[in-house]
């Protein structure tokens, strides 16, 4: 728990910056509403105000700055507003027994989580199998590695709709599988690269030692290469699961999906409800945090079991 203090310090600093940024971000919206309500604003008319900097607007209309903290459709919501929205769409709904309603972020998070886990499973498996192939076969190294690198230079937003189209063309029902594929596409790479490094971590002398025992290839894989790669694997899994989540959300964005956190972000954008975007964003961040923390725990248990100094 000794790293709690630095984390909290950063959190407080971020909240402070956020809170302070709300005033300049929302001043124009606040002044428009105040003017419609009959208040005296300098200069008059929202068109004229466009050429005036937010700082001058704030200085000249200091009475109305606080209004920016209480808008229905703020350009930048306050932390409190986001927190309230998040609670309204998760905890509050769960208490009322409506956790699985289409308006609940718990429901949408669950949709996203499912695809993320499938994508993570698929991507991790591909990454590990690819790494084993690369380490054991020079042909695989020469043919697979460049393509793995090239694959990551293609923007996933461009690729995602194609994957959706192709998978519906070949008769795949629903969006679960294509989303998982997009997510796996992002997640396999860190696993592949780390596992190649991990499987090659044993020194020559350690491999020689096994040779003096006349160990088979499978034995040296199971007893040396695999355990030696574990620390690399866990590090890459944590990167991989975050990438898988991003992949799923990206997969939900341009594809007309109606459920999932990505869909909530898109809908919030289209309907001009920043609060929905922000709460979906935070739900995604919390989800990622939970997944990474879970993997961290698994890593600790696994590495303690294999004798790492505590």
Partner 1 sequence: MSSVISAQDLNLTFQTNDGPVHALSDVQLEIGKGDFVSFIGPSGCGKTTFLRCVAALETPTSGTLTVNGMSPDEARRQRAYGYVFQHAGLYPWRTIGANIRLPLEIMGYAKSEMADRVQRVLKMVDLEGFEKKYPWQLSGGMQQRASIARALAFDADILLMDEPFGALDEIVRDHLNQQLLELWAKTGKTIAFVTHSIPEAVYLSTKIVVMSPRPGRITDIIESPLPKERPLDIRETPEFLSIANRVREGLRAGHSYD
227 interacts with partner 1 by CB under 8 A? yes
Assess contact for 128 and 191: CB atoms under 8 A.
Answer: yes
Sole window of 41-49, 188-196, 211-219, 286-294 interacting with partner 1 (rule: CB under 8 A):
211-219
Query: Which structure tokens are listed for 250?
Result: 């990206």
Largest CA distance in the chain: 91
Closest to partner 1 by CB, 159 vs 228, is 228
Question: Do 157 and 95 form a contact (C-beta atoms < 8 A)?
Answer: no
Contact between 103 and partner 1 by CB under 8 A: the answer reads no
| Binding of partner 1 by 159 (CB under 8 A) | no
Residue 38 phi/psi, 5-degree rounding, is: 100, 10
Single residue of 20, 213, 271, 290 touching partner 1 by CB under 8 A: 213
Cβ closest to partner 1, residue 140 vs residue 228: 228
**Interface with partner 1, residue 201, by CB under 8 A:** no
214 lies in the site for partner 1, by CB under 8 A:
yes
Does 219 participate in binding partner 1 (rule CB under 8 A)?
A: yes
What is the rounded distance in angstroms from the CA atom of residue 246 to the CA atom of residue 292?
Answer: 13
**Which of positions 228-267 make contact with partner 1 (CB under 8 A)?**
228, 230
Closer to partner 1 at the Cβ: 99 or 230?
A: 230
Position 208 contacts partner 1 (CB under 8 A): yes
Q: How far is the CB of 310 from partner 1 (least distance, A)?
A: 11
* Total residues interacting with partner 1, rule: CB under 8 A: 21
Shortest spacing between CB 240 and partner 1, in angstroms: 22
Judged by CB under 8 A, the stretch of 74-82, 184-192, 200-208, 252-260 that binds partner 1 is 200-208
Distance CA 76, CA 129 (A): 45
Q: Which stretch binds partner 1 (CB under 8 A): 34-42, 116-124, 218-226, 285-293?
A: 218-226
* End-to-end Cα distance, the chain: 15
Please choose, from the candidates 232, 110, 225, the residue with its C-alpha nearest in 3D space to the C-alpha of residue 176.
Answer: 110
- 212, 270, 272, 301: which one contacts partner 1 (CB under 8 A)? 212
Which residues lie near partner 1 (CB under 8 A)?
203, 205-206, 208-215, 219, 223-224, 227-228, 230, 306-309
């Amino acid at each position: 728990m000794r790293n709690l203090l630095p984390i909290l310090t950063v959190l407080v600093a971020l909240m402070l910056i956020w809170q302070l940024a709300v005033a300049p971000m929302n001043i124009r919206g606040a002044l428009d509403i105040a003017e419609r309500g009959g208040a005296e604003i300098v200069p008059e008319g929202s068109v004229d105000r466009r050429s005036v900097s937010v700082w001058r607007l704030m200085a000249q209309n200091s009475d109305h700055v606080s209004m920016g903290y209480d808008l229905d459709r703020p350009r930048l919501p306050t932390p409190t507003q986001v927190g309230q929205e998040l609670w309204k769409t998760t905890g509050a709904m769960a208490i009322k027994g409506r956790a699985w309603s289409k308006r609940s972020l718990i429901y949408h998070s669950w949709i996203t989580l499912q695809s993320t886990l499938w994508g993570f499973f698929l991507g991790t498996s591909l990454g590990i199998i690819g790494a084993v192939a690369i380490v054991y076969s020079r042909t695989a190294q020469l043919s697979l590695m460049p393509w793995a690198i090239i694959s990551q230079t293609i923007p996933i937003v461009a690729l995602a709709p194609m994957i959706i189209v192709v998978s519906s063309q070949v008769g795949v029902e629903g969006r679960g599988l294509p989303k998982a594929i997009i997510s796996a596409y992002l997640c396999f790479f860190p696993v592949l690269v780390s596992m190649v490094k991990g499987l090659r971590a044993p020194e020559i002398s350690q491999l020689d030692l096994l040779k003096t025992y006349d160990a088979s290839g499978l034995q040296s894989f199971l007893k040396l290469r695999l355990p030696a790669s574990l620390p690399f694997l866990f590090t890459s899994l944590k990167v991989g699961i975050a990438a898988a989540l991003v992949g799923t959300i990206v997969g939900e964005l341009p594809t007309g999906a109606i459920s999932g956190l990505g869909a909530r972000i898109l809908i919030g954008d289209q309907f001009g409800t920043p609060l929905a975007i922000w709460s979906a964003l935070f739900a995604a961040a919390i989800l990622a945090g939970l997944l990474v923390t879970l993997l961290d725990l698994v890593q600790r248990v696994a590495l303690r079991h294999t004798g790492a100094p505590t």
